[in-house]
Amino acid sequence: MNLQQVFESHTGRKTTKWTHYPYYYERHLKEFIGRPITILEIGVEDGGSLQVWKKYFGANCKVVGVDINSNTMYQEPQIFTECGSQTDIDFLQRVIQKHGPPDIIIDDGSHVQTDILKTIPFLFNSLNEGGYYIVEDLHTAYWNSHEGGISSPYNFVTIASRFVHDVNKQFVEEPFTPSLNSLMEISFYNSLIFMRKGNPPVSQMTFFGK
């Protein structure tokens, strides 16, 4: 069963996702199915997406939800929730210490641009090698209500576009400090960004043909 089918057949707690999201999640994350992984999702709300991840990735995964609203807390086999703010680094550190480093992190939290920017430096470093950091609902990067806008200095889409330099750091000739250490790849979609942790392969020129 693919992820779209898991969402469509889901009868547990309510979940809301844009209809194109499952396709991109499937493209990047299907290799994790059945593996003993930890998923950390910021933003629990009704809790349905945590159940969907459990169904999709299987009996070996642990799903941890983080939310600032205590009314969203619940627990069931494989699913754990922790109450706290995504901008509270001490809290996030305690979550990582308790549940272990994640293989997949999904930021579906406040969607306020400065909140995203405060969260990512610590949590990206906490990812296991080869893991994914995903930021959802980035249409808010263009909304003034979420500190966004094309000209906003906090627009995360604009800022993340500069992370491409981190992927290509082997070619940089001037002094350069990567924004995210060990960023192997970054992919941009409608309202969605996937970032994979790992060291990009050192490229060498290869000639083909005669």
Task: Give strand pairing partners of 67.
Answer: 83
Non-local (6+) Cβ contacts of 136 within 8 A are: 17, 21, 106, 107, 108, 111, 191, 192
3-state SS of the chain: helix, strand, coil percent to 5? 35, 20, 45
Closest CA to 37 of 123, 117, 104, 111: 104
Going by the DSSP 8-state scheme, the letter that residue 157 receives in this structure is H
Closest CA to 79 of 97, 61, 93: 61
Residues serving a catalytic function are 111
| CA 61/CA 37 separation, integer angstroms | 5
Please state the three-class secondary structure of 119-144 as a single string: HHHHHHHHCCCCCEEEECCHHHHHCH
| CA 32/CA 54 separation, integer angstroms | 12
